[in-house]
Each structure stands twice: as C-alpha cells, then as structure tokens.
Amino acid sequence: MKKPPHNSPIFTRYDLNVEDRHHQGARKVSSDLLLQRVADSLVTGDEDETCMAVSQALNAHKPLEIINESLIPGMQEVGRLWDLGNYFLPQVILSSDAMIAGITLCEEEMGHSMERKAKVVTHTAEGDIHDIGMQIVNALLRAGGFDVISLGADVPIEEVVDACRIHRPVMLTGTALMTTTMTAFPRIAMRLKESGLDIPFVCGGGALSEEFVTSFELGIWGSDAAQAASMAEDALSGLDWRQLRAKWNG
C-alpha cells in the first residue's frame, strides 16, 4: 500500500516537538550515602531495592531520620519531576508504593506507626464502578503523607456521610465518570451540611465539569488527580471549602 512522503502536512508529532524541552534528573537529597541510596531507590520506584536500602540504613540511622531525611524528600523529588512533566503517572505510583513499603519497615522498627498528616476519605460515586481515577488519587495522597480511608467504588451516599462523621477527615473526595452517577455528589454535600460537617468535598472524574461541582456547597472541582495532595495540604493548613474553591477553581 502506498505511503505518503516523509514530513507531509498530514499530521504533526507535537510530542517530538516538545521532547526533552525540560529534561532534568532527580536532585540529591542527602550527603549520607545510605540515605541517598534510599532516596534513589524511591526515584526509580524499585520497591525491593527500597526495602533493602532502608534495612541497611536502619543500622546507622533512626527510623524517623530515614523517613524525614530520605523517604519523604525522595518522594518530594518524584513529585517535582512529575510536576515538571518528566515523570509519567506509573513512575509516581511505583515510587509511592516503594515509599509506603519503606515507611512500614521503619514503623516496625519504631514499634508504632508514624504520625500521618491527616485523614482523607475517598470514594467513587454510587452506581459507578469507574474507580481508576480514585485509585490514582489514593496513591498520590498516600505519597503525600496522608492517611487515606478509601471506601472504594459504587459507594452508597449514607456510607460516605457516615465515614465522614466517624473519621472527621480534612477532605473528602469523590470520583464519577458517568453523568448518571455524578448526581450523588450534591446529595452527599447536602447531607454533610445537614450533619454540620463542613468538609471540603473535592469532586473529579471524566463526567464532571467545573460548573457542576461549583453549583453545590462544599464542592471543589478537581481536574487532575495530581492536585489531590496539594488540595489536602491546603485543607490541612486551615482553608475552608470556599477558600479552596476560590484557589483551585474559576
């Protein structure tokens, strides 16, 4: 079958145009070789290597040191590369898996689990089984140091409200990919208001629009899972839903 001449005006490979526009590697996070090795293993997202590196480091360092001076800064590097557009999603997920494994080791050593920043409840709308978006959100929130209580997919409204009543999270997230299921969110928001729970409710998922989410109280629209952690940070720092909406939407 005939083929068009090279460089014909049929399409443009913009991915090649912008390639290595911003090429950058991970930065060094520690002068200590053992700690740097832990960080490196995170950056490559190699869970086994992370576990080995952490156990080694535990001979010379306190668990908390390892967490604060290699695992967390290492993960921050990963986040930076992702923000830069150098890293793709799976790299971030793998790093976060590795970090969690590393932290678990440290926690065993400490004999108690480390202090998480705060609780975040996540779920996928009732009647909706499209939960990949939520899974990404979960991973990125965990990577950000939050205690994620994920209710899973197709979660009844009541269950969501109860979970908020019990856990008092700094933030609630919802994912919906169907216009026929997203209608659950305003109802959840209403029930939360009724129960006096003014929790910022970040809603995302293919079906949602900024218009829709900002049309009900508590609602903040999330266009990209990558925003989840920073939004939780904001909530943690005391911004209420109106302030979050003002900052992230519009």
Partner 1 sequence: MKLTDSMAYSNPQEMMFGFAQKPVTTRRGLVIGGGSVIAEIVPHPRPGSEKTLHTLLREFERANGDALERCVDIGTPNLVLENEHVFQMTDDAHWGREIAALSIRQLDEFAEQYGLKAAYRATIADLRKPDMVNIRDSERTSKVLEAFDACAEYADILSIESIGGKEIFDHCIIRNDITGMLFAQGVLGSRDMAWLWPQIVEIADKHGSIAGGDTDCSQANTAMFMAGGFTGKALSHSLAALSRAMAVGNSLVAYECGASGPGKDCAYENPIIKAITGLPMSMEGKSCACAHSSLCGNVMAAVCDLWSNEAVEYHRMFGGSTSAVFSEILSYDVASMNTAIQLGYQREYQACMVASDRYRSLQGFILSPDNAWAIGKAVVDNNQSYYARTLAAALTCGELMLADPQLYFTSYEKESLAGYMTELEKLPQEEEDFIDLCLHKYAQVKGFLPQAYGL
What residues make contact with ligand B12 under the rule CB under 6 A? 127-134, 136-137, 173, 175, 177-180, 202, 204-207, 222, 224-225, 227-228
Alpha carbon separation from 76 to 30, 116, 232 (Å, rounded): 13, 16, 15
25 counts as binding partner 1 under rule CB under 8 A: no
Task: In angstroms, give the least distance from the CB of 146 to partner 1.
Answer: 18
Q: Which of 44, 55, 68, 91 binds partner 1 (CB under 8 A)?
A: 91
Element (H or E) spanning 92, and its range? Answer: helix 89-110
Given the complex with partner 1, which of 133 and 200 has the nearer CB atom?
A: 133
Binding of partner 1 at residue 77 (CB under 8 A)? no
Count of CB atoms situated within 10 Å of the CB of 116: 14
Residues 6+ apart with CB under 8 A from 143: 75, 78, 79, 92, 95, 96, 99, 229
Binding mask 102-141 for partner 1 (x = CB under 8 A): -------------------------x-x-xx--xx--x--
E-strand spans in 125-245? Answer: 147-150, 171-175, 201-204, 219-221
Partner in contact with 12, chosen from ligand B12, partner 1, none, beta carbon below 5 to 8 Å by kind: partner 1
Number of other CB atoms surrounding residue 214 within 10 Å = 15
**Binding partner of residue 173 among ligand B12, partner 1, none, CB under 5 to 8 Å per kind?**
ligand B12
Residue 87 interacting with partner 1 (CB under 8 A): yes
